[in-house]
């Protein structure tokens, strides 16, 4: 799907802002079913993108603050590392 490729490159803040727009549009409008389905699909993809970026941010924080035995320690984070092999848009 073409939308998945586009959503895959969206930075967190942009994805969240668009997701908010979609929610407002779906709540405030009497939209035809087909439009609702398109918005729902886009919102689902954006939600997944946001979760992926949050998971990556959490991983980065954990690498900085926690060693294997739980003691705080700074570790080098590999730039471009991701949870699923795609480039994060931070």
For the chain, the domains span 2-65
How crowded is residue 88: how many other Cβ atoms within 10 Å of its Cβ?
18
Structure tokens at 74: 């700074």
pLDDT on residue 7: 77
User: Residue 8: pLDDT above 70?
Assistant: yes
- Helix, strand and coil content of the chain, in percent to the nearest 5, comes to 60, 0, 40
Percent residues over pLDDT 90 in the chain: 49
pTM > 0.85: yes or no: no
Residues 47-67 have a mean pLDDT of 83
Reduced to 3 states (helix: H, G, I; strand: E, B; else coil), residue 72 is: coil
Q: According to the model, what pLDDT value does residue 70 have?
A: 74
């Amino acid at each position: 799907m073409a939308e998945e490729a586009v959503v895959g490159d969206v930075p967190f803040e942009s994805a969240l802002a668009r997701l908010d727009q979609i929610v407002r549009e779906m709540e405030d409008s009497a939209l035809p079913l087909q439009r609702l389905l398109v918005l729902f699909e886009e919102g689902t993809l954006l939600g997944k993108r946001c979760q992926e970026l949050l998971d990556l941010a959490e991983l980065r924080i954990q690498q900085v603050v926690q060693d294997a035995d739980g003691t705080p320690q700074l570790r080098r984070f590999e730039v471009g590392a991701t949870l699923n092999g795609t480039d994060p848009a931070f």
